[in-house]
Structure 1
Amino acid sequence: MSGAAVDEAGSRPRKPRGRRADGERSRQKILDAAAEIGAERGYDGTSIAEISRRCGLPASSIYWHFKDKDDLMATVIEDSFEAWNRSWDIDADGNILLELVAIAEQLIGALQEHPQFLHIGLPLALQKRTDDPRPRRMYLQMRKNLTARFEKIGETHFAHVPAERRTAIITYLIAGAEGLIISHELDRSESAPGIEELLQIHASSVIQTIMQEAEK
């Protein structure tokens, strides 16, 4: 009989668990290597050949898991953002004003754990390109999703603040953090402040603004 063997119930046998686990480990090794290289060299400086060398897997294995470099790098950005996005939360029923400092620390800590979407996606988003690669579109979409999440938080906890003002604060929060990360990447000298310190100063400014709005 030609084709794959079937069991008595007429269904094809499942792949052994070990094989699936090996496949997941290989996929993660590829993603980790792509994230490292992308953070070091940017999107254009990242190649399948270098990813293959870094992760120790053949290019054929990379193409088995991912359609092409665009698919791989877009997955790196999406996975990194989603991991960061899951790492912090705000209680809808709590007093957010009492938790702002803890929330800021949570946001910054999560960003340090999952920075790839910013290190790779942000520089790419700033470029004016005719090819408009999928990782660039992915970063911009993740950014919109983040804005929408902050807007929902603003509606829940600061309904008395005009929507236009809430939008301005959210824009300042996101764009300010992005700007500090760009500044940090441009100045890697020993005298330059660390990115965590810069983000903490930015967070303090945002918290002060929120507190002022809450008092009105």
Structure 2
Amino acid sequence: MAERASQGRESQGGTRRTRARGRESRRRILEAAAAVAGERGYEGTSIARVSEVSGLPASSIYWHFADKDALLAAVVEESVELWLGQVTRGEGEALAQRVTELCLGVARTFTESPDFLRLVLMLALERRPVEPVAREIYLRLRGEAIERIAAELQQVRPALSPADAMLAATYALAGGDGIFLASLTGDADVAALFRLHASAIVHLVEQAEGGVSGGRSGGGSPSRGGGREG
């Protein structure tokens, strides 16, 4: 009886160790895939290269993932929840504070998830007759991020219309994309760019609340109006 109990404990311990090794190998594969895809894009990524970077045999990769598309889809899914939490988390009650928090969230992803950001930007740019699952997942979740940012803006500015909130949120995320690309050159002042970007978002929201955005007002902006009067 005692012998069977001991054997059972040993079996359970072996199962836990096997599962832990499986989780560790999966993590290494995903990190390697993100790095390779961030450097080479979807088409340039191969199981052989991921195997080389991860230090694991191709058979181990295929044990976890059916093919390259499934692997990169998992990379996006594993990373995107963290990304969403960072780019849509804000607690400030004032518009400028909330927008600054959102921009800082985007900035954090530059240092914490650079490979992931490079991968998803490449996925967004690379279009094919048959879309990879990874690209479909990213575009769907990017849309969710825009909706969350719009909700954050409306939370601090309830008078902001849904259409204007979505416009400002789309602009906010697109501006973050541009700053990330600028940061890749190594000589961009990312902090200054984000301060400027936050100011632009605040101005856009305040303009919208004043009824002069989205073509609702015939007066246009002061600078454009001044040009017409001359």
- Using the size of structure 1 for normalisation, the TM-score is 0.79
Structure with higher helix content = 2
State the match for 2:168 in structure 1. 169
Task: Decide which moves more: 121-130 or 59-68.
Answer: 121-130
Whether 1:90 aligns to 2:98 is no
**What one-letter code is carried by the residue in structure 2 that aligns with 1:109?**
R
State the match for 2:25 in structure 1. 26
CA RMSD of aligned residues (A): 2.7
State the match for 2:45 in structure 1. 46
Residue 127 of structure 2 aligns to a residue in which SS?
Answer: coil
Cα distance in structure 1, aligned partners of 2:149 and 2:189:
26
Whether 1:125 aligns to 2:133 is no
Task: Note the C-alpha offset of 1:73.
Answer: 0.8
State the match for 2:108 in structure 1. 109
- Using the size of structure 2 for normalisation, the TM-score is 0.75
Moved over 6 A (4+): none
Query: How many residue pairs end up in the alignment?
Result: 200
Task: Note the C-alpha offset of 1:102.
Answer: 3.8
Cα distance in structure 1, aligned partners of 2:209 and 2:110:
27
Cα distance in structure 2, aligned partners of 1:33 and 1:128:
23
Task: Note the C-alpha offset of 1:177.
Answer: 1.9
State the match for 1:150 in structure 2. 149
What percent identity do the matched residue pairs reach? 35
Task: Note the C-alpha offset of 1:127.
Answer: 2.5
8 Å contact from structure 2 (residues 164, 205) kept in 1 = no
Cα distance in structure 2, aligned partners of 1:112 and 1:21:
28
* Higher radius of gyration, 1 or 2: 2
8 Å contact from structure 2 (residues 150, 168) kept in 1 = no
State the match for 2:60 in structure 1. 61
8 Å contact from structure 2 (residues 37, 44) kept in 1 = yes
Residue 90 of structure 2 aligns to a residue in which SS?
Answer: coil
Structure 1 residues 143 and 209 mapped into 2: Cα distance closer, same or farther (>3 Å)? Answer: same
Task: Decide which moves more: 65-74 or 195-204.
Answer: 195-204
Cα distance in structure 2, aligned partners of 1:177 and 1:98:
17
2:193 to 192, 198, 204: 198
**What one-letter code is carried by the residue in structure 2 that aligns with 1:203?**
A
**What one-letter code is carried by the residue in structure 1 that aligns with 2:166?**
T
Structure 1 residues 109 and 182 mapped into 2: Cα distance closer, same or farther (>3 Å)? Answer: closer
Unaligned segments of structure 2, at least 5 residues: 6-10, 212-230
8 Å contact from structure 1 (residues 47, 69) kept in 2 = yes
Task: Note the C-alpha offset of 1:149.
Answer: 1.1
